[in-house]
Amino acid sequence: MRETLWIALASFRETVRDKILYTLLFFVLILLAFSVLLGDWSVFAQKKVITDFSLGVMSLGGLAIAIFIGVGLVQKEIQRKTILTLLSKPVRRWQFLVGKYLGLLMVLVVNVLVMLLGLWAALAWSHNDFDPRLWLAAWGVFLEMSVITAVALLFSSFSTPVVSSLFTFATFLASHLSGSILDYIETMKRNAERIPGVQPLPEWFEPVARVVRRALPDLEMFNIRPEIVHGLPLPPWHLAWATLHAFGWVVAILAIGSWWFDRRDFL
């Protein structure tokens, strides 16, 4: 693990020096500040609006980091040919990929803490208390980031940066929407039987949606914003299962990425 940790620390230092990271972080903090103004305009509870909007911004900020930084971590080494120097040392290709992932994971931890600090500042500025359960929401955001970052590294292990970014974004959308699509299909089936004139969906649509649902990680499992914002109780052991779900998918995705990366020719 020494080589893997060395690559992780080097990737962390490289990412911290990257101007893209500071640009994304600055943009996220601006949006967090905008949540205070949005809360002032809202006719609903100000604290709920600020919290809900800010947690959504944190999730999208994690997606942006995964796409713009996660995809580029491997591709920059390939384009600069520095990967040939690294692999000439006693470093295996899976150690290189896992090290890059761990380095970006450390960056994500720092970013989540900074975003949470920005949310605390937004709440303090609007004279609202910081709910300790926001730490749980931040953990859910971090789990989502960790999975989507692994997906970005998987695609970047065999594809170009543009295609990898598109695939990562498509995976993010499909993972979040697959459950809602299945609920919509069930609703349409019931309405087609009871209400004349409602056309049922094609027969092939539901099996395809179920395959997509099973083949992708359930990112909605990490979304506990409604419970935190509205003060609802979380299901027992929900975050524990969500953590195991994220860990299992990260291990599986990195294993596939390492297998593919091991067969790639860089010459």
- The domain ranges of the chain are 2-262
Distance, CA of 159 to CA of 83 (rounded, Å)? 16
Say whether 168 sits in a helix, a strand or coil.
Answer: helix
**142-167 CB burial, b ≥16 within 10 A, e <16:** bbbbbbbbbbbbbbbbebebeebbeb
pLDDT given at position 250: 94
pLDDT given at position 266: 59
pLDDT single digits (tens) 152-175 = 888 888 878 888 888 888 888 888
**pLDDT beyond 90 at 198:** no
**pLDDT beyond 70 at 52:** yes
Distance, CA of 221 to CA of 75 (rounded, Å)? 30
Cα 41 vs. chain centroid, distance in angstroms?
A: 29
Between 149 and 57, residue with greater pLDDT? 149
What is the 8-class DSSP label of residue 67? I
pLDDT single digits (tens) 8-23 = 887 778 777 776 666 6
What is the 8-class DSSP label of residue 90? S
Distance, CA of 259 to CA of 251 (rounded, Å)? 12
Among 101, 79, 99, 76, which residue's Cα sits nearest to residue 89? 99
pLDDT given at position 94: 82
State which H helix or E strand residue 213 sits in.
Answer: helix 205-215
pLDDT single digits (tens) 202-219 = 677 777 777 877 888 888
Mean pLDDT of the chain: 79
pLDDT given at position 236: 81
Between 196 and 5, residue with greater pLDDT? 5
pLDDT given at position 40: 60
Mean pLDDT of 183-201: 66
What pTM value is reported for the model?
0.84
Distance, CA of 25 to CA of 15 (rounded, Å)? 12
